[in-house]
Amino acid sequence: MEILEEGGNAFDSAIAVSSVLSVFQPNLGGLGGDGFLLAFYGDDVIVYNGSGKSPSKFDAKRYMMENPLEAL
């Protein structure tokens, strides 16, 4: 509630909750867990699906690339 009282929005609160849960239940989200995001910015909709396993040959260095799927 403090985030909302300080002028944050629901998205800010969701990020804070996710951060806390990553400490207490790391298998449920973040690295090694699944993650989903649906955000609305004006007329834009941003969707992120971070579920499932990465391909076995997906090198960690590719995550640092601007477009990691480009190297596949």
* pLDDT digit string, tens, across residues 34-45: 777 788 888 888
Q: Residue 68's pLDDT is what? A: 57
Q: Residue 11's pLDDT is what? A: 83
Q: Residue 28's pLDDT is what? A: 66
Can you give the pTM of this predicted structure? 0.43
What's the chain's Rg over C-alpha atoms?
15
Structural domain of 47: 2-71
Structural domain tally of the chain?
A: 1
How many CB atoms lie under 10 A from the CB of residue 13?
14
Q: CA of 64: how far to CAs of 26, 28, 61, in Å?
A: 22, 23, 6
Q: Give the chain's residues under pLDDT 70.
A: 27-33, 53-55, 62-63, 65-72
